[in-house]
Copies of this chain bind each other. A is one copy, B any other.
Amino acid sequence: MIPRTMYTVYVTIHVIPEHVDAFCAATEDNHRNTRLEAGNLRFDVLRDNDDPNCFYLYEVYQNEDAFRGHQQTEHYHRWRETVADMMATPRSACKATSIYPEPWA
C-alpha cells in the first residue's frame, strides 16, 4: 500500500480589489486541473466571510511528493504567473500533515 500522509497546504491570498474577478477565474482553472491530479485529494477555494478580497486555498495531497509534482504542472505555473500581479501582499502558506482522521485508515 502506498503511504498516504495527507499533506495539506492552506494558502492565504489578499487580492487587489480590481483583480478579484480575474483572480477567481484563474483560480477556478487551477482548482479544476489540480483535482484531476492522481495525488490530489481535495482543493477548496474559499473567500473570507468578512473581507471579500481575501481568499484561502485548502489543498490536500496524498504525500509531499504529490505536492511537489503539483508544483511542476503546467496549470500551476499558469496560475502562479497569472495571479502574481493581482496580490496586495505576498501570499503565505501553512504546510501541515493530518493526524485525524488517521490518513492510513
A49 at interface (Cβ–Cβ under 8 A)? yes
Interface residue tally for chain A (C-beta within 8 Å):
30
State the CA gap A24–B100 with chains docked (Å): 9
Which positions in A face B, CB cutoff 8 Å? 6-8, 10, 12, 24, 27-28, 31-32, 35, 43-50, 56, 58, 60, 94-101
Q: At the interface, is chain A mostly helix, strand, loop or mixed? A: strand
Do B100 and A48 touch across chains, with their CB atoms under 8 A apart? no
State the CA gap A28–B99 with chains docked (Å): 9
Do B49 and A95 touch across chains, with their CB atoms under 8 A apart? yes
Partner of A96, one of B48, B95, B96: B48
Counting chain B CB atoms within 10 Å of each CB, the highest count among A6, A44, A47, A48 belongs to A44
